[in-house]
């Protein structure tokens, strides 16, 4: 598949995925399938961190209403399942995904944001699930993921009112990790990515997987999985290097893959 709306760049252990479908980077079927294609590549490459961002005044301002408006219920259901499957694939990627939100993240755009592991927003970013204003509900995961991130009551308020909030409010309610000046967004995101890249790859994969699973299993099951994964770390060369480096008061030299 030729990529027209998604661009992939790789540098220094990180993969940078940029959505560019001006003027608002709306998600249509073509863009979703391009995102899927890029993720298939990222599942097999040796990058340690992925950065997802957009171009222009929007990260993603939502799904493409022009494409959706004439769908019947069955077609709409399939479109919802397509988006959910791709966003779940993003969430399940073994390596960490940092979202650099450069502008509007509305509807499907916010649902895409929530598929990422760490979210950094520019001061210009805005967030919302405005689907009720279109006679719809969110279809790509917001009713399930937003309550897990910001709590049930706040999620209900955002979804039921369709209110759009700014970056500082998103930070206050725990939707994003950090707010930075627009001109500093990529620099700050790459700096964070660099910190992650410097760590051992196996613990990164295990920690992300365990945190994701914690929402779907009970505490005892989660603790059992954690202890097994903790033990697994002790079979790796990176664990020996990390502990030896600590004892020798030097920086560890972990493997790159």
pLDDT digits (tens, 9 = 90+) for 137-194: 999 999 999 999 999 999 999 999 999 999 999 999 999 999 999 999 999 999 999 9
Structural fold of domain 201-247: Lyase 2-enoyl-coa Hydratase; Chain  A, domain 2 (1.10.12)
Query: Which pTM value belongs to this model?
Result: 0.94
- For residues 106 and 162, give the distance between their C-alpha atoms in angstroms, rounded to a whole number: 10
* Rounded average pLDDT over 35-56: 95
Quick one: pLDDT band at residue 2, thresholds 50, 70, 90? confident
Question: Which residues are catalytic, by number?
Answer: 111, 131
Task: Give me the pLDDT at residue 1, please.
Answer: 76
Rounded distance, CA 223 to CA 220, Å?
A: 5
CA distance linking residue 87 with residue 36, whole number of Å: 9
Element (H, E) at 106: strand 104-106
Q: What is the mean pLDDT of residues 70-83?
A: 96
Q: CA-to-CA distance for 171 and 121, rounded, in angstroms?
A: 9
The fold of 6-197 is: 2-enoyl-CoA Hydratase; Chain A, domain 1 (3.90.226)
Q: Break the chain into its structural domains and give their ranges.
A: 6-197, 201-247
Give the C-alpha distances (Å, rounded to integers) separating 219 from 26, 55, 140, 157, 214.
Answer: 39, 40, 27, 28, 7
């Amino acid at each position: 598949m030729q990529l027209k709306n998604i661009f992939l760049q790789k540098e220094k252990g990180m993969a940078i995925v940029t959505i560019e479908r001006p003027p608002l980077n709306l998600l249509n079927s073509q863009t979703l399938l391009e995102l899927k294609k890029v993720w298939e590549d990222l599942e097999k490459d040796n990058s340690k961190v992925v950065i997802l961002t957009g171009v222009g005044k929007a990260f993603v301002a939502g799904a493409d209403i022009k494409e959706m408006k004439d769908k019947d219920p069955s077609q709409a259901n399939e479109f919802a399942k397509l988006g959910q499957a791709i966003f779940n694939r993003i969430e399940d990627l073994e390596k960490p995904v940092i979202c650099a939100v450069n502008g509007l993240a509305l509807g499907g755009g916010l649902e895409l944001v929530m598929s990422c592991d760490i979210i950094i927003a520019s001061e210009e970013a805005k967030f919302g699930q405005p689907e009720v204003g279109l006679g719809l509900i969110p279809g790509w995961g917001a009713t399930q993921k937003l309550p897990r991130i910001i709590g049930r009551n706040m999620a209900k308020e955002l979804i039921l009112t369709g209110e759009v909030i700014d970056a500082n409010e998103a930070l206050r309610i725990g939707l994003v990790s950090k707010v930075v000046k627009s001109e500093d967004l990529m620099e700050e995101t790459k700096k964070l990515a660099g910190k992650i890249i410097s760590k051992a790859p196996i613990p990164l994969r295990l920690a992300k997987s365990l945190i994701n699973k914690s929402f779907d299993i009970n505490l005892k099951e989660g603790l059992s999985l954690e202890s097994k994964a903790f033990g697994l770390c002790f079979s790796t060369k990176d664990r020996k290097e990390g502990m030896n480096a600590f004892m020798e008061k030097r920086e560890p030299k972990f493997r790159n893959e």
